[in-house]
Amino acid sequence: MKSHISDENHNINKRLHKLYPQDTAQKALDSIIDLVYKYKQRIKSEEYHLSQKDIILITYGDQVSRNSEASLHTLKEFMDNHLKGVINSVHILPFYPYSSDDGFSVVNYSAVDPHMGSWREVESLSSEYRIMVDGVINHISQYSDWFKSFLAGDKYFEDFFIELDPTTDLSKVVRPRASPLLHEYLDNEGKIHNVWTTFSKDQVDLNYKSYKVLRSVLAAMFYYIEKGATLIRLDAIAFIWKELGTGCVHLPQTHELIQLMREVIHEVAPEVIIITETNVPHHENISYFGSGDDEAQMVYNFALPPLLLNSIVCSNTKKLTSWAKTLKLPSNKVCFFNFTASHDGIGLRPVKGILSDEEVSTIEKRVKDHGGLVSYRSEEDGSKTPYELNCSYIDALSNPKDEQIIRIKRMLVTQATVLAMPGVPGIYFHSIVGSQNYQDGVKHSGINRTINREKYNIDWLENELSTMGSLAKTIFDSYKRMISIRINEDAFNPFTKFSFLELDERVFIIDKSSVDNKERILALNNYSNEEVTIKLPKEIKLPLCDILSSNYCDDNSMKKEETITLEPYQVMWLKGKI
């Protein structure tokens, strides 16, 4: 049996022995070997390397819909008609049957929500686009068969969840929410079970001290890969291992578990990319790169969205540039996943120690003034602090009553920054079409995050995108044009050299080198409503060409001056020799 695990990955056995007692570790190894053997027969592995062409659309499976049609089919039709050849990857947010949290309370890991379609539609998407799926593996729905079996007294599931005496001292546990850590559930005989729930009563945490949980979760991830997934997002992974008397976040066992999962997955499909979602302070977040060759290949760059917002609010990029200059990667095999918006809000914890309390308060007030909301978490002393801004990104940047041209320019300068940052861009569906706050959704659901999760009738959206001068069409067309230029410039490869220049506090400047280190692109982003003239350093070779304003470079389009003038909120991508 052990021969089915390659010699290189004997680390699987070592990692299991770090996580489990000897007898349990051997049982875990045997079950994992069985899984690996089973899926090696079923999964065809194909080598793949990330490049500047990788752009990931973040979307719900039912983001666009049409009557009597599987929404995943409608989504593919939309992408084929509008984004093919521009965006090559799609992160389909949880499309499994679920009971709450718009998919993040999974009832069945191996099924597709019938309202969205079936695995046939997922496989159809994967035939044209690279697919990222969610491993919502910290918790599962209280209505899942796993939890129902636990409450029914099924011996196999008796250790799948964490049951504690409610008098247990849990004061040290880091809380991402203000809800109780333990919730009560009644079994079939009326007995009360107090079970660990990091996020909500409907999201019951799994117990990874049970190797059977690990085996079941790995089986689900292999199934996703078999159905076409090439990227797996590990949701809320920082909280996955629990040890009483600790904060139960970022534990050594958590990192060991992620490394183990990567080892096992790569035994069958080495091209699969693991991306960790840890909405925590930046220095904690980047720990999930591990050594640069053993943990996540991509990490969400959570500090970026609030820092870009702060730059617009202050018309100043000093804090953004200062933070960016600290960005370092442990190897040339990993990179950041850059974004401004997602299905969640704009996290504030990632900028702890980067922005002052006063700066954070200013951002909070701005979001509230623009119709947004704020969500809170519980601290160890029982107090509550804001952890997330709930607002569409365009409304966070500008008051909905502002002139449309200003709203568009502010939105596009932030999105252009994401496209130029070192790493892979992730673009939320609502960002690419300029969606505004969905107030009616919040009134209906009572959930703050609904404000940025509106779903669209495809015919209505198509009409918006075909109406000249509309907010949606202007942003959509401009965004697509920037992407179409980016994907043809290898200076934007995720693994090339980068640095950040400090030439004017109003302008954020990214210096990216080409793969062969012979060309560079200077991405200049004016975050102010003022015209800004900057003097280029002498080491920057002239001439330079702004590839955003000209699709080709000739003697007439070259800039020979040592100074560059940017209009308010203007973006330039200046290309030249090194």
What residues are annotated to the active site?
235
Query: Given its phi and psi angles, is residue 527 left (phi above 0), alpha (psi -120 to 50 degrees) or beta?
Result: alpha
Nearest CA to 508 among 319, 340, 301? 319
DSSP states of 528-542: SSS-EEEEPPTTSPS
**Where does residue 192 rank: exposed (0-12), middle (13-18), buried (19+ CB within 10 A)?**
exposed
User: Using an 8 Å Cβ cutoff, are 575 and 545 in contact?
Assistant: yes
**Where does residue 343 rank: exposed (0-12), middle (13-18), buried (19+ CB within 10 A)?**
buried
User: Using an 8 Å Cβ cutoff, are 202 and 105 in contact?
Assistant: yes
**DSSP reduced 3-state for 301:** coil
d(CA 15, CA 29): 10
User: Using an 8 Å Cβ cutoff, are 258 and 296 in contact?
Assistant: yes
Nearest CA to 178 among 385, 445, 367, 442? 385
Distances in whole angstroms, Cα of residue 451 to Cα of each of 346, 362, 390? 12, 20, 7
In degrees, rounded to 5, the angle at the alpha carbon of residue 460 between the alpha carbons of residues 447 and 116 is: 60
Buried b (16+ CB within 10 A) or exposed e, 84-103: eebbbbbbbbbbbbbebbbb
**Dihedral sign from CA coordinates of 326, 332, 337, 340:** positive
In degrees, rounded to 5, the angle at the alpha carbon of residue 92 between the alpha carbons of residues 89 and 96 is: 150
